[in-house]
Amino acid sequence: MEEEWEPPVPAGYNDANRAFIQAFMARGTLTFPEGQKLVAAILSATEGETVDPQSITQDTFAGFVRTAREAVEPLDYDIRSSRDQLRNGERIWAFINAHSDPATQMATTRSPEEVAYIKRLMDLLFDEYNTVRMEVMAVDEGQALKASRPSKRRESQHVNGEDEEGQPSTTASDRGLKHSEVLSLLSSLVAEGWLEKSRAGFYSLSPRALIEMWSWLVATYNDDSPSARDWQRIKFCESCKEIVTYGQRCSERDCTVRLHDICEDRYWRTRRGEKKCPKCETEWTGNHFVGERAITSRQAYQRGRGGRANGNGSGRRSDLEEAVAAQQEAAADDDDEDMAEA
């Protein structure tokens, strides 16, 4: 009888490390202050005396993370970190599935209709509301509700049960979700740490989701063909090289340089305070945005706040749609002027 395979155990691995992994898996993410409390609680239990969380140093916490990572890597899990784009750059560690795509992971806990909705939501974030002119990568509640069912165009594409590439598709049987189900799902995704909801009511991917979905996002929404334009839907910070969904962009529309707010000061210091785009040499104004501020900083958004969609499924446009429509009209006027000058 063959013995059951067991993954190799890192040197020094003990009950404290095992408890750390179990707690980390249950939480999904940890910040350093959270890690201090967790490690202190574990050591207090295993050593029989109270350990002050403040006595847990960065090195001690890093040691637990390093040992945990070595222990779970043979099981196709990993621990990775990133800085929070919205909360003063606080570093977040995430316990992730390293090899299966997000749709596969969510399919174990979500219904087929919910998984299909999540795919539509990702398309809204990184396709429809992420263009050369407006890199929003966020949606408000009104737009999230309008995606509750597949579009008629998408339904017609899948009428024969095949997708655009001729592969079997589940979209043909996707009947969508009720608005109450969408709201419940969004709330659940926020509670589980996949989405964040801002004070202005915009949903965007959380740091945990960006860490875990990094490879999938690039593979799904970026074009790596030789003929692809420089501009891609998934952008990276010029300073830290991590994904930017909230930050600043070069004021030159076609330029690809982006910066996190949390990276800006450090980056300009490395360039001796010269605030010019490193690629196109355009003056960096700091008032061209990536993320929800691409909408909320505009006058069109401020004017439209009184007409916010109330989520009742009416035909009224949401604030996001109003601002995007206004921007598209302005863009069309600019293009007309360019053609006239030519």
The backbone region for 125, taken as left when phi is positive above 0, alpha when psi lies in -120 to 50, beta otherwise, is alpha
| Kind and range of the H or E run holding 289 | strand 289-290
pLDDT at 32: 96
pLDDT at 229: 67
pLDDT for 229-272, tens place per residue? 678 999 999 999 999 999 999 999 889 999 999 999 999 999 88
Tell me the one-letter amino acid at 9. Answer: V
Q: How far apart are CA 19 and CA 68, in angstroms?
A: 10
Note every long-range contact of 54-58, with CB atoms under 8 Å and residues 24 or more positions apart, other chains counting: 58/32
pLDDT for 111-134, tens place per residue? 889 999 999 999 999 999 999 989
Which parts of the chain register pLDDT below 50?
A: 1, 155-168, 170-171, 306-307, 309-315, 333, 335-342
pLDDT at 338: 45
The full set of domain ranges for the chain reads 15-75, 103-150+176-293
Backbone angles phi and psi of 16, in degrees to 5 = -65, -40
Name the 3-class secondary structure at 205: strand
Rg over CA atoms, the chain: 23
Tell me the one-letter amino acid at 139. Answer: V
DSSP for 180-192, written as a single string: HHHHHHHHHHHHT
Class of domain 103-150+176-293: mainly alpha
pLDDT at 108: 64
pLDDT at 147: 94
Asked whether the beta carbons of 294 and 134 are under 8 A apart, the reply is yes
Q: How far apart are CA 1 and CA 300, in angstroms?
A: 71
Q: How far apart are CA 256 and CA 182, in angstroms?
A: 34
pLDDT at 230: 78
Model pTM?
Answer: 0.79
pLDDT at 7: 64
